[in-house]
A and B are shown apart, each in its own frame.
Chain A
Amino acid sequence: MKPVITVRDLTRQFGTFTAVDHISFEVHPGEIFGFLGANGAGKTTAMKMLIGILRPSSGEASVAGFDVYREAEHIKQHIGYMSQRFSLYEDLTVMENIRFYAGIYGLPITSIRKEAKALLDRLELTHEANTLVKALPLGWKQKLAFSLAIIHKPAIVFLDEPTGGVDPITRRRFWEMITETARTGMTVFVTTHYMDEAEYCDRVSIMVDGRIEALDHPKKLREQFGAQSMDEVFRILARGAVRSE
């Protein structure tokens, strides 16, 4: 199958500083791809280029079939994005958030009502349709935020530290939802600082000093580095970092 993301020698410089240094990888349909790295390793810069909001200095990348240089606007329309900090509007109701996201992602007006009803049913939120999002328990908020990030059925969804600060059960339920979604064929590109979550990925890449220093299935990485856990793999790699943010 054709990769959803293809990256070749992608590079970004800020002045003389090379934030992302010739990274290359592919992500396949339905894959959960973990994108790890220490603070300052270049993860955020790389991700910004992939979601079409930062122009690369050199190299090639295509996301969901679109070129990051020429078709950045198309990329934005064909991907989902959810971060820990910005996802839902707390002062809007559940229904208003649904309508807002459905509109932003260009769903036809005629189908928004139907989609909204189906979504509320699926999340068992029908009785909360007119509740302000800020009054919802965290677990529900997360499910809603994720469902809205993919309401336009994108080929790929980017999750930027989606579970930071979340309680341990909600965090795990969220990952169960990610796994289910990936099984429907949607690709999930995710960053996290929780190393246990790296184990739930099909493949994991670890960035050090702007480069991808390791990329494989978590189990293979553990074997490769003779480590007991992904935490240990991460530490072995990050210890070699020259760049301290």
Chain B
Amino acid sequence: MKSITVHNIIKTFPGKPPVQALQGVNLDIEKGELFGLIGPDGAGKSTLFRLIASLQLPDSGSITMEGLDVLKDYMKVRKLIGYMPGKFSLYQDLSVEENIRFFATLFNTTLEENYHLVKDIYIQLEPFKKRRAGKLSGGMKQKLALCCALIHKPEVLLLDEPTTGVDPVSRKEFWEMLHRLKALGITVLVSTPYMDEAMQCDRVALMQHGTLLQVDTPDNIIASYDKPIYAVTGNNSPEVLHALREWEGSYSCFAFGEALHLTLQSEQYSVESVRKFLDEKNINGVEMEAITPGIEDCFMAYL
């Protein structure tokens, strides 16, 4: 069964020139799925979240949530969702505990009633429960926001960039938490600018400029990369990067940590042809190895 369906959504913001934030987006998210929206700032992720959360109206198109139309049945829809906006939106002057109790009360429930849902997170927050939310550090604010989004036992969690600006270790912990929530049957729609987080999702949508570039499982997205790709190591100086990028057989060449990733135009080019080119340029000490692309390579092929 579908948890969320997005049909031909168009959303434009006025201005000079007007901004087409969403240019005809179609998307189905299954019940219980951990679904990732992957894309940089300005891709349209947050706008899509606000439309799904019934907080903004589309120019055209329709969205359903658990079978309900988000426009007509917005009051029911809002009870079903837990929404964590990209910008910290809790009460800065209330304490951690007061925030949680406030959101629980709004939904006619209590911290005690749904404690099992938030227990993992709440335990980490408990030492700070008397502290004002505004005085928490970034990582703790995120945990509190997730806690408040969960307290009414939502069917669907909408998490808009929960890990942005968060260090790699805390990000990993956050994803472990999402997997536990998924195991409880909650549908999770999460957005992120970090490409490596795509691998944590059941399915992802790669998003840029208000359109979905590709929607599939991470494995299928990687399998659909149809060009030979190599990791170039040993000598990855800017000179090698620029030479390889300008070479006729190269489709793209970019730095990836300690290596360069070189994608060839087609199978017609080979390691030997790269070597020949590098010899002609008097570039030595380069090692090449065929690799499986990552989600980031796949995303970059669209840009």
Q: Which residues of B contact A (CB under 8 A)?
A: 17, 39-43, 124, 136-140, 161, 164-170, 172, 193-195, 208, 238, 241, 254-258, 296, 299-300, 303
On whether the beta carbons of A168 and B257 are closer than 8 Å, the reply is no
On whether the beta carbons of A40 and B139 are closer than 8 Å, the reply is yes
> How far, in angstroms, from A64 to B299 measured CA to CA in the complex?
40
> A193 contacts the other chain (Cβ, under 8 Å)?
yes
> How far, in angstroms, from A245 to B41 measured CA to CA in the complex?
26
Give the 6 A-B CB pairs with smallest separation, nearest first.
A167-B40, A245-B137, A196-B257, A165-B41, A199-B257, A38-B167
> A244 contacts the other chain (Cβ, under 8 Å)?
yes
Instruction: Give the chain B neighbours of A166 by CB distance below 8 A.
Output: 40-41, 193
On whether the beta carbons of B303 and A230 are closer than 8 Å, the reply is no
On whether the beta carbons of A179 and B296 are closer than 8 Å, the reply is no
Instruction: Give the chain A neighbours of B39 by CB distance below 8 A.
Output: 167
Instruction: List 12 A-B residue pairs with CB atoms under 8 Å apart, sorted by A's residue number.
Output: A39-B139, A138-B41, A164-B165, A167-B41, A167-B303, A168-B195, A168-B299, A169-B303, A195-B168, A196-B256, A231-B168, A239-B169
On whether the beta carbons of A176 and B169 are closer than 8 Å, the reply is no
On whether the beta carbons of A39 and B170 are closer than 8 Å, the reply is yes
CB distance from B135 to the nearest CB of A (A): 11
Contact of A200 with B255 at beta-carbon distance under 8 Å, contacts A39-B139, A245-B140 already known? yes
Q: Mark A146-185, 1 if CB is under 8 A from B, else 0.
A: 0000000000000001001111111010011001100000
Contact of A138 with B40 at beta-carbon distance under 8 Å, contacts A199-B258, A219-B258 already known? yes
> How far, in angstroms, from A165 to B193 measured CA to CA in the complex?
5
> A234 contacts the other chain (Cβ, under 8 Å)?
yes
Instruction: Give the chain A neighbours of B140 by CB distance below 8 A.
Output: 244-245
On whether the beta carbons of B255 and A175 are closer than 8 Å, the reply is yes
Instruction: Give the chain B neighbours of A244 by CB distance below 8 A.
Output: 124, 139-140
On whether the beta carbons of A39 and B138 are closer than 8 Å, the reply is yes
Task: Among B136, B137, B172, B303, point to the contact of A168 (Cβ < 8 A).
Answer: B303
CB distance from A19 to the nearest CB of B (A): 11
Instruction: Give the chain B neighbours of A172 by CB distance below 8 A.
Output: 254-255
CB distance from B292 to the nearest CB of A (A): 15
How many of A's residues come within 8 Å of B, CB to CB? 39
Contact of A180 with B238 at beta-carbon distance under 8 Å, contacts A138-B40, A170-B40 already known? yes
> A218 contacts the other chain (Cβ, under 8 Å)?
yes
On whether the beta carbons of A230 and B300 are closer than 8 Å, the reply is no
On whether the beta carbons of A169 and B137 are closer than 8 Å, the reply is no
> A87 contacts the other chain (Cβ, under 8 Å)?
no
> A135 contacts the other chain (Cβ, under 8 Å)?
yes
Considering the complex, give the chain A residue whose CB is closest to the CB of B299.
Answer: A168
CB distance from A109 to the nearest CB of B (A): 31
Instruction: Give the chain A neighbours of B41 by CB distance below 8 A.
Output: 138, 165-167
Instruction: Give the chain B neighbours of A199 by CB distance below 8 A.
Output: 255, 257-258
Other than A199-B258, A234-B167, give 18 A-B pairs with Cβ distance below 8 A.
Answer: A41-B167, A161-B165, A165-B161, A165-B193, A167-B39, A167-B43, A172-B254, A176-B255, A179-B238, A180-B238, A193-B167, A196-B257, A199-B255, A234-B168, A238-B168, A239-B169, A244-B140, A245-B139
Considering the complex, give the chain B residue whose CB is closest to the CB of A219.
Answer: B258
Instruction: Give the chain B neighbours of A195 by CB distance below 8 A.
Output: 168, 257
Question: Which of A135, A172, A195, A229 has its CB near the most chain B CB atoms (within 10 A)?
Answer: A172
Contact of A168 with B238 at beta-carbon distance under 8 Å, contacts A38-B167, A219-B258, A238-B169 already known? no
